[in-house]
């Protein structure tokens, strides 16, 4: 099985990390992520990762409970750093080298984000995990994923979700929901399809960066996407 991409940006959801729990990090889910990542690193693919923080804290939900939005977003970004460190730990435990780079500097814990350094790490076979989102409030980790993917010249953003692609309506609520094989950036924006937020989609559109949405909870799916199996939905021009 040959990979069809040389360098990928994998976006992992923080929320999915909870697994069956109500909060925190499921060792089962993070272990599965780590094994799946190792599988593609072993194929020679260069892997960078952005992981969300929704399992720990979301700025918007905090704001609804009276936390100042900017403070809440700072808390959310720190949550992504916690997840990044947990993922780093799980990946290194199975023998793959990693580096965490953060958008907000915390040199005692991780490297700062430096594009050239990130690329060099990947060339050496290290997985680079980007923490703290974009470093700015009012943004999301989806936007951070799109931004970092463009900066490091990734071939594709692969977005891991709990569903197996993009549907015309919510497949959990509607039994007649139809899955797209491919869909354009413009259609995603016009139909407000739940893929990534509009800022992330626009960035990908402007830079012709394809996005593949797929179900990461089925073990082996990260490899299936990277070796070109049609298991999700591709967003393209
Ligand atoms: N966040 C932010 N700026 C960024 C990325 C994230 O302020 O560039 C904050 C924001 O509060 C968000 C939280 O971090 O709610 C967690 O990220 P996200 O909700 O995207 O995580 P996911 O949904 O993937 O778990």
Among 12, 51, 53, the mutation site with the greatest number of ligand 1 atoms within 8 A of its Cβ is 53
Among 65, 69, 76, the mutation site with the greatest number of ligand 1 atoms within 8 A of its Cβ is 76
Would you give per-residue pLDDT tens digits along the chain (237 residues)? 899 999 999 999 999 999 999 999 999 999 999 999 999 999 999 999 999 999 999 999 999 999 999 999 999 999 999 999 999 999 999 999 999 999 999 999 999 999 999 999 999 999 999 999 999 999 999 999 999 999 999 999 999 999 999 999 999 899 999 999 999 999 999 999 989 999 999 999 999 999 999 999 999 999 999 999 999 999 999
| pLDDT of the residue at 21 | 94
Residue nearest to atom 18 of ligand 1 (CA): 52
Helices (H), the chain: 27-41, 59-64, 69-93, 115-123, 141-151, 185-190, 198-206, 221-226
Pairwise CA distance, residues 167 & 184, whole Å: 13
Residue nearest to atom 19 of ligand 1 (CA): 54
| pLDDT of the residue at 9 | 98
Q: Is 73 assigned a ligand-binding role in the annotation?
A: yes
Complex confidence, ipTM: 0.95
Q: Which residues line ligand 1 (CB under 6 A)?
A: 13-15, 52-54, 58-60, 72-73, 76-77, 79-80, 133-134, 136-137, 139-141, 144
Would you say the pTM of this structure is higher than 0.90? yes
| pLDDT of the residue at 160 | 97
Q: Is 221 assigned a ligand-binding role in the annotation?
A: no
| pLDDT of the residue at 49 | 98
Contact 36, 219 (CB under 8 A): yes
What is the CA(228)–ligand 1 centre distance, in A?
29
Among 70, 139, 140, the mutation site with the greatest number of ligand 1 atoms within 8 A of its Cβ is 140
Q: Is 161 assigned a ligand-binding role in the annotation?
A: yes
What is the CA(224)–ligand 1 centre distance, in A?
27
Domains of the chain, with CATH numbers? Answer: 7-236 (3.40.1160.10)
| pLDDT of the residue at 1 | 81
């Amino acid at each position: 099985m040959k990979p069809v991409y040389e360098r990928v940006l994998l976006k992992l959801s923080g929320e999915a990390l909870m697994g069956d729990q109500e909060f925190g990090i499921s060792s089962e889910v993070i272990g599965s992520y780590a094994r799946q990542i190792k599988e593609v690193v072993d194929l020679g693919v260069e892997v960078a990762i952005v992981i969300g923080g929704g399992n720990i804290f979301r700025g918007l939900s905090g704001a609804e409970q009276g936390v100042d939005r900017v403070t809440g977003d700072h808390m959310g970004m720190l949550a992504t750093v916690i997840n990044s460190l947990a993922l780093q730990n799980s990946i290194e435990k199975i023998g793959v080298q990693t580096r965490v780079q953060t958008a907000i500097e915390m040199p005692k814990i991780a490297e700062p984000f430096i594009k050239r350094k990130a690329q060099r790490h990947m060339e050496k076979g290290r997985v680079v995990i980007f923490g703290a989102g974009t470093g700015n409030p009012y943004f999301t980790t989806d936007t951070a994923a799109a931004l970092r993917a463009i900066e490091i010249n990734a071939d594709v953003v692969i977005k891991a979700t709990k569903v197996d692609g993009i549907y015309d309506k919510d497949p959990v609520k509607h039994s007649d929901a139809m899955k797209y094989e491919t869909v354009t950036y413009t259609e995603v924006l016009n139909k407000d399809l739940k893929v990534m937020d509009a800022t992330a989609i626009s960035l990908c559109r402007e830079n012709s960066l394809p996005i593949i949405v797929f179900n990461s909870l089925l073990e082996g799916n990260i490899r299936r996407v990277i070796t070109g199996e049609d298991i999700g939905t591709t967003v393209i021009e």
